[in-house]
């Protein structure tokens, strides 16, 4: 749960950006807005963010998220879209490919957040195509599913992710 951002109720980030009142945001499912506008927790890298989907407004304007947000974190409003989702899928596939090498690749498992599925809508096949192409093309065997959060390595530990795509290569 996120209580405050910049000494204001956490929901104010959505109120300001979307120009919507708290009452309006409470009447609409916040989870639908958070698909396109997730919260990004700043990580060590210059442009690395751990995404969190806010799915409900809590007491006093707090945001209830589908994952933890460490106290004192830098949080920003992110804007998702089709092109950025495909770029992230491409990056995940290329990073996974580098881990095993093209010569030993047997296939890959893909774990994608259900928020990404909703963001991509009827164009979800595009994500699969980008991953397959990045791993070598039509002959690559793929499996996987959409889930409500993904466990993936980050640095030397596994971390719970939202709205992400994880590509695990099989050698």
Q: Minimal CA–CA distance to 162: which of 97, 123, 94, 114?
A: 114
Here the tokens at position 150 are 């993904």
**Domain tally, the chain:** 2
111 and 144 in contact (C-beta within 8 Å)? yes
Q: What is the pLDDT at residue 116?
A: 85
Q: Minimal CA–CA distance to 147: which of 118, 107, 123?
A: 118
Q: Helix count (H) and strand count (E) of the chain?
A: 6, 12
pTM listed for this prediction: 0.78
pLDDT per residue as tens digits for the range 89-103: 999 999 999 888 767
DSSP 94: H
Here the tokens at position 34 are 């958070």
Which range of residues forms the domain containing residue 61?
A: 4-77
User: Phi and psi dihedrals of 149, rounded to 5?
Assistant: 140, 150
Q: What is the pLDDT at residue 71?
A: 87
Among residues 59, 77, 95, the one where a domain terminates is 77
Same domain, 27 and 14: yes
């Amino acid at each position: 749960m996120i209580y405050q951002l910049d000494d204001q109720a956490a929901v104010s980030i959505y109120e300001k950006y979307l120009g919507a009142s708290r009452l309006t945001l409470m009447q609409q499912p916040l989870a639908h807005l958070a698909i396109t506008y997730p919260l990004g927790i700043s990580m060590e890298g210059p442009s690395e963010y751990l995404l969190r989907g806010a799915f409900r407004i809590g007491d006093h304007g707090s945001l209830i998220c589908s994952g933890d947000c460490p106290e004192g974190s830098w949080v920003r409003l992110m804007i998702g879209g089709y092109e950025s989702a495909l770029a992230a899928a491409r990056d995940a596939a290329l990073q996974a490919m580098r881990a095993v090498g093209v010569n030993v690749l047997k296939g890959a498992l893909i774990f994608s957040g259900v928020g990404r599925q909703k963001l991509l809508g009827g164009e979800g096949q595009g994500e699969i195509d980008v991953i397959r192409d990045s791993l070598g093309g039509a002959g690559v065997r793929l499996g996987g599913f959409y889930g409500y959060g993904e466990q993936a390595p980050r640095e030397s530990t596994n971390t719970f992710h939202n709205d992400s795509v994880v590509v695990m290569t099989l050698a």
